[in-house]
Amino acid sequence: MAFRKITPQDISQFSNMLGDRYVLTDAEQLERCSHDETEDLRHMPEVVLQPGTVEEVSAVMRYCNDRLIPVTPRGAGTGLSGGALPVLGGVVLDMKRFKKILKVDKENFQVTTEPGVITQELQEVLKSQGLFYPPDPASKGSCFIGGNVSENSGGPRAVKYGVVKDYVLNIEMVLPNGDVIWTGANVLKNATGYNLTQLVVGSEGTLGVITKIVLRLIPAVTHDLLMLVPFYSATDACKAVNDIFLAGYTPSALEFMERDALEWSMRYIQSAGIDLPPEIQAHLLIEVDGNRLEQLFEDMEAISAIMQRYKTGEILFADSHEQKQMLWALRRKVGEAVKSNSVYKEEDTVVPRALLPRLLETVKRVGQEYGFHSVCYGHAGDGNLHVNIIKANMSDEDWQNKLPQAIRVLFREVVAMGGTLSGEHGIGFVQKSYMDIAFNDIQLGIMKKIKDVFDPKGILNPAKIFVN
């Protein structure tokens, strides 16, 4: 599809729709919206629009659809697969003005929110009313709930509470042609027709622009306990993960960090943090939560006994709120720490949980074969390993040409294990060339036809998910 460049007439039309101050063409704003948190990628938009109402989004979409102008929706720009990058220029639709929590329905355990609310702020407002919305990406302090819905995000608590899709009941969205629809109903069960809501969750801004979200909530949990378990062997740490579930326990978080991950994070946030003897190769960060403290202590004791089947260092039980915060900060900052260290590429592999040790070994073996160093960490309880491939001394030539081959080999092995390419970061721009490993032509054909139904002119977030 040949898209049209934006003209001064378009800019004045956008100004009529939104008001001058929400039509941004200055270098600073264009630069801000030219990147997200994916590697060091930059793609300049021609204009940034900041609509404030669903009617304004609709007017912009209708206008751009009629004139073949590409539109890329943007949340907080924390994405890790380049979903918010305007790779073909055009409009970035910046959703930051959609920041109202519209209705907390305590009786029905639901909230209706706009998509530009920061996830942690939403969680805090709900918590103050005794309500709990569990999905908590490590970026929760900055990402938007609309971005989370678009990516079907996970996070540490997914292991016990599930991911975003498990909480979305209904979505208001603007279609590329400007029509506005709700996808479902505000009910806990729904067997009425195709499930458009779940189709839109995780669609990475390619089917419509989300303008309202209805989420299911649960009662707030009162207590949690946290421990950090050091392992002499990273493979053992991965093996220990499944033992916990086989023994009948479901932690509220079960995170894996290779030695480098924790060490780099400690250095990055300049935290004395914890003692890290040279023989320790990996850690598990394990949280349990619930309403009965005695039960949680018993669970922690049982889990630490399971850990003793392996060669571990001294287990650290966080004994204060501050210590818990410190341990979580170390885990949450790993991504940023890696980024500050070297050019890197992040993969988001996921396999059936029991195969996690094999996944780690495969990553390391492929790394040796192709000459790359990786720092691995992630949501071990979900079988979800973030593989940060470090450029370090790799030549530009190898980085450009050899690394994609290595990633293909890795992904093929992941899929052969019954796993897939991305557990939570999405496909977006940077993983689309690997989709043929996860899906055959028939499956990809169905997905492309779905895209065509929603967006026949292909103006919404073009060049994402599919190679063509």
Ligand X SMILES: Cc1cc2nc3c(=O)[nH]c(=O)nc-3n(C[C@H](O)[C@H](O)[C@H](O)COP(=O)(O)OP(=O)(O)OC[C@H]3O[C@@H](n4cnc5c(N)ncnc54)[C@H](O)[C@@H]3O)c2cc1C
Residues 208-227 within binding reach of ligand X (CB under 6 A): 209-210
Question: Which CB sits closer to ligand X, 104 or 209?
Answer: 209
**Integer angstrom CA distances of residue 148 from 32, 53, 138, 342:** 20, 20, 11, 27
What radius of gyration do the chain's Cα atoms show? 22
Question: Which CB sits closer to ligand X, 147 or 419?
Answer: 147
Q: Which among 17-25, 137-145, 257-265, 450-458 is the span making contact with ligand X, rule CB under 6 A? A: 137-145
> Can you tell me which of 51, 70, 83, 458 binds ligand X, judged by CB under 6 A?
83
Tell whether residue 381 is a contact of ligand X (CB under 6 A). Answer: no
Min dist CB 416 to ligand X, Å, is: 24
Q: What are 10-19's contacts with CB under 8 Å, separation 24+?
A: 10/47, 10/63, 10/67, 10/69, 11/47, 13/63, 14/47, 14/49, 14/60, 14/63, 17/51, 17/56, 17/59, 17/60, 17/63, 18/49, 18/50, 18/51, 18/52, 18/56, 18/60
> Can you tell me which of 48, 95, 168, 280 binds ligand X, judged by CB under 6 A?
95
Is residue 238 a contact partner of residue 356, using CB atoms and an 8 Å limit?
Answer: yes
d(CA 26, CA 34) in angstroms, rounded, equals: 12
Token representation of residue 402? 């050899």
Tell whether residue 285 is a contact of ligand X (CB under 6 A). Answer: no
Residue of closest CB approach to ligand X: 147
Closest Cα to residue 257, out of 377, 96, 101?
377
> Can you tell me which of 89, 147, 230, 381 binds ligand X, judged by CB under 6 A?
147
Residues 391-450 within binding reach of ligand X (CB under 6 A): 424-425, 428
Using DSSP, state whether 390 is helix, strand or coil. Answer: strand
Question: Which CB sits closer to ligand X, 95 or 225?
Answer: 95
Q: What are 99-106's contacts with CB under 8 Å, separation 24+?
A: 101/125, 102/212, 104/129, 104/131, 106/130, 106/131
Question: Which CB sits closer to ligand X, 37 or 299?
Answer: 37
Question: Which CB sits closer to ligand X, 61 or 104?
Answer: 61
d(CA 456, CA 392) in angstroms, rounded, equals: 43
Q: Which among 67-75, 216-224, 322-330, 444-452 is the span making contact with ligand X, rule CB under 6 A? A: 67-75
Min dist CB 344 to ligand X, Å, is: 12
Min dist CB 148 to ligand X, Å, is: 4
Using DSSP, state whether 104 is helix, strand or coil. Answer: strand
Q: In which element (H, E) is residue 425 found?
A: none
Min dist CB 44 to ligand X, Å, is: 16
Min dist CB 379 to ligand X, Å, is: 7
Tell whether residue 151 is a contact of ligand X (CB under 6 A). Answer: yes
Closest Cα to residue 242, out of 378, 161, 354, 358?
354
Is residue 38 a contact partner of residue 84, using CB atoms and an 8 Å limit?
Answer: no
Question: Which CB sits closer to ligand X, 207 or 296?
Answer: 207
Compute how many residues bind ligand X; rule: CB under 6 A. Answer: 38
Is residue 223 a contact partner of residue 289, using CB atoms and an 8 Å limit?
Answer: yes
Min dist CB 397 to ligand X, Å, is: 28
Q: Which residues pair with 209 in a beta bridge?
A: 174
Closest Cα to residue 245, out of 383, 111, 144, 121?
383
Question: Which CB sits closer to ligand X, 149 or 307?
Answer: 149
Site mask for ligand X (CB under 6 A), range 96-125, x = bound? -------------------x----------
Question: Which CB sits closer to ligand X, 61 or 318?
Answer: 61
Tell whether residue 150 is a contact of ligand X (CB under 6 A). Answer: yes
Tell whether residue 143 is a contact of ligand X (CB under 6 A). Answer: yes
Tell whether residue 139 is a contact of ligand X (CB under 6 A). Answer: yes
Classify residue 446 as exposed, middle or buried by CB count within 10 Å of its CB (0-12, 13-18, 19+): exposed
Question: Which CB sits closer to ligand X, 367 or 426?
Answer: 426
For strands 209-216 and 110-113, give the pairing. antiparallel
Which residues are near ligand X by CB under 6 A? 36-37, 72-80, 83-84, 95, 115, 137-139, 143-144, 146-148, 150-151, 153-155, 204-205, 209-210, 335-336, 424-425, 428, 461
